[in-house]
Amino acid sequence: MSRFAAPIAAQIWDMKYRMKDAAGAPVDATVEDSWRRIARALAAVEADPAHWESEFYRALEDFRFLPAGRITAGAGTGRAVTLFNCFVMGTVPDSMGGIFDMLKEAALTMQQGGGIGYDFSTIRPRGAPVAGVAADASGPLSFMDVWDAMCRTIMSAGSRRGAMMATMRCDHPDIEAFIEAKKDPARLRMFNLSVLVTDDFMAAVKADGPWDLQFGTRVYKTVQARDLWNRIMRSTYDFAEPGVIFIDRINAMNNLHYCETIAATNPCGEQPLPPYGACLLGSVNLARLVTDPFTDTAHLDPAALEDLVRLAVRMMDNTVDASRFPLPQQADEARAKRRIGLGVTGLADALLMTGLRYGSEAAADQTRDWMKAIARAAYLASVDLAREKGTFPLFEAEAYLASGTMQKMDVDLRDAIRKHGIRNALLTSIAPTGTISLYAGNVSSGIEPVFAYTYKRKVLQKDGSRTEEEVVDYAVQMWRDLKGDAPLPDYFVNAQTLPPLDHVRMQAAAQDWVDSSISKTINCPADISFEDFSEVYMAAWDQGCKGCTTYRPNEVTGSVLSVSESADRPPVAAPASAPEAGAEVVYLSDPLDRPGTLEGQTYKLKWPGSEHALYITVNDIVIAGHRRPFEMFINSKNMEHFAWTVALTRMISAVFRRGGDVSFVVEELKAVFDPRGGAWVEGRYIPSILAAIGGVIEQHLVAIGFIEGEGMGLKSDPSAEVVALGAPKGAACSSCGSYALRRIEGCLTCADCGFSKCG
């Protein structure tokens, strides 16, 4: 029997993690082969590889330990890819040459599949004088635009687009422009943005005091701290960015406070890292460790948890030695500190199985207990590794034990570290697990609540057709298997209905025992008041979180995956006056010859952000008294458009000349979605410039009477579907084009095809 708990799990494995040869033929015949491949690769650095291969396979078996996607897809394949998930690049110099050296390093890192983070606070503000040049500085945001353009051209390993995080200090003179950069929906789409918030700033916010914006020793401007805080809140409320990182808290708690300063994080925020810092990720699947689920004796097996954590730490420590690195500085940094990020997934499912409501005080207490058990087991395992293999090279016992994190640890653990040292400087992190949670049978992701009990997923079949299948949360499916049709208990909650402050409570409970940070998205309802929304961030600060990321559906970023727990949306009915399908349409087996003259119309299309307009001409022919499109031309002074506009002109004209019902051309063009984002045109959100061209053609077909009206006579009209849903549809998946993107822990995962930007 298959090990997969759901069809989607097998599909994700085949698409993302199954090893295949250059021709696409499977090398891993089964998922057991994938586990064996990973176990063998990570055991190869051991003195007794056969023994540890067996032990590592045991950890991987049945999806109990889930190495992150880089390891699962790359370990043992021999491919030139990194097994590390995330990097923070070197400090950006405040010079033109240094800036573009950093750009080159970023490109090389993303080319091997690494997401990257940068602190742009080191670049002088816009308008500052540049010594030796009769010009003023253009500021950090202008260089972020260059990074953004570079990222769009780099396809990461595993068919991933590069992901980036940009941070800026709350006292940088350009912070106000940074906060509001994403008001433009076409700008910086490859970046997540976060403000580095200091303790002094938060004190000034609470006191409603003044706040200096400065670079070097020069104060450029003084603002009220609370006003600046409210600008951050307003932008996040309206546009879902920037996030907030409590940077002083991160540095105070950091075990390596004595030898590094952190100013940036990886793209999803769970890994605060120093310059050239790198971290690998993996998750213990808590949902697989619950015994007697949905009974009075349900509990998470503590012995099984400790055994699994110890094996996971050893596997991840070995990965430091087994991995390639895009840059030598990253390899040196990783091996000097041997930082790993062991986390969890399936927390919400495990809580449900033990009868606890996610977000409740009891669930927070249980989460805190489980996370302490994981941290304790991980640190003790790393102490044992230090006795066997040596400490990380930069270990200094008393300085290490003086950190905020180590001050909270049990006395016996601190004594063991003082006596024997420790192999890994930092050990725990809560990462996004969007794709690997699907691979493990659709367990709840990371420490997030269950996103939805069920949803529909379109599956592309070999004959090109699409079928729909139900995807069920792991715990919900287990309830069905055990209880049949019995209704779900009241303690079942999901992300659609959970109060935002319950999210904060759970994040804070987990953060108590996570030495790095946590990737978590606090989903807020669209109608939450601005005051209640701001309270979420203040609660995160007050409760000890290291950062905060929220998501409120809005017209610019759209909504998360639309979920219907009951009925499907009704079909869009054609108007009563619509002609019969195919009525009065002339079908041609051969293209018509072009007459000497044709009548037509030229339309001007101005796409936001483009210097030159497109001019679209559609010429018509009259057959049997009916006017129909015959050819089209697209002209622009923008030479970047030349090749694709010529190709589009020729292809669409060829279709028009074949006759028949050519309205499908409108359908296809209007369904094209640009992963970089669309634009607002005359009060409507258009998902791509090609969709805008489709709209122009549709306008012409309506004008000549070829179709009845906008969206009429089409088998599937995207604009009609938007109206039917009654809510913003949001961005489309860059892999399959569907609308089934959901935002979890700061990253987007497609529920239709499994594509994930960073999971």
Answer yes or no: 270 catalytic: yes
Q: Distance between alpha carbon 457 and the CA centroid of its chain, in Å?
A: 19
What is the rounded distance in angstroms from the CA atom of residue 570 to the CA atom of residue 82?
47
What is the rounded distance in angstroms from the CA atom of residue 419 to the CA atom of residue 412?
11
Answer yes or no: 266 catalytic: yes
Contact in structure between 161 and 675 (CB atoms under 8 Å): yes
The 8-class DSSP code of residue 157 comes to T
Q: Which residues contact 631 (CB under 8 A, 6 or more apart)?
A: 594, 598, 618, 619, 653, 656, 657
Helices and strands (H and E) in the chain: how many: 25, 28
Q: Distance between alpha carbon 561 and the CA centroid of its chain, in Å?
A: 13
Q: Which residue has the tokens 């070097």?
A: 216
Torsion 19-24-27-28 (CA) sign: positive
In terms of Cα–Cα distance, which of 505, 357, 338 is closest to 421?
338
What is the rounded distance in angstroms from the CA atom of residue 681 to the CA atom of residue 455?
32
Catalytic residue, chosen from 53, 105, 260, 270, is 270
Backbone phi, then psi, for 449, in 5-degree steps? -70, 165
Q: What is the 3-state secondary structure (H, E, C) of 281-299?
A: EEEEEHHHCEECCCCCCCE
Residue 233 is which amino acid? M
Q: Which residues contact 132 (CB under 8 A, 6 or more apart)?
A: none
C-alpha angle with apex 244: 533 to 376, nearest 5 degrees? Answer: 105
| C-beta atoms surrounding 565 within 10 Å | 10
Specify the 3-state DSSP secondary structure of 472: strand
What is the rounded distance in angstroms from the CA atom of residue 597 to the CA atom of residue 619?
9
Catalytic residue, chosen from 86, 268, 279, 758, is 268
Contact in structure between 743 and 495 (CB atoms under 8 Å): no
Contact in structure between 209 and 227 (CB atoms under 8 Å): no
Q: Distance between alpha carbon 187 and the CA centroid of its chain, in Å?
A: 17
Catalytic residue, chosen from 266, 285, 318, 523, is 266
| C-beta atoms surrounding 125 within 10 Å | 23
Catalytically annotated residues: 266, 268, 270
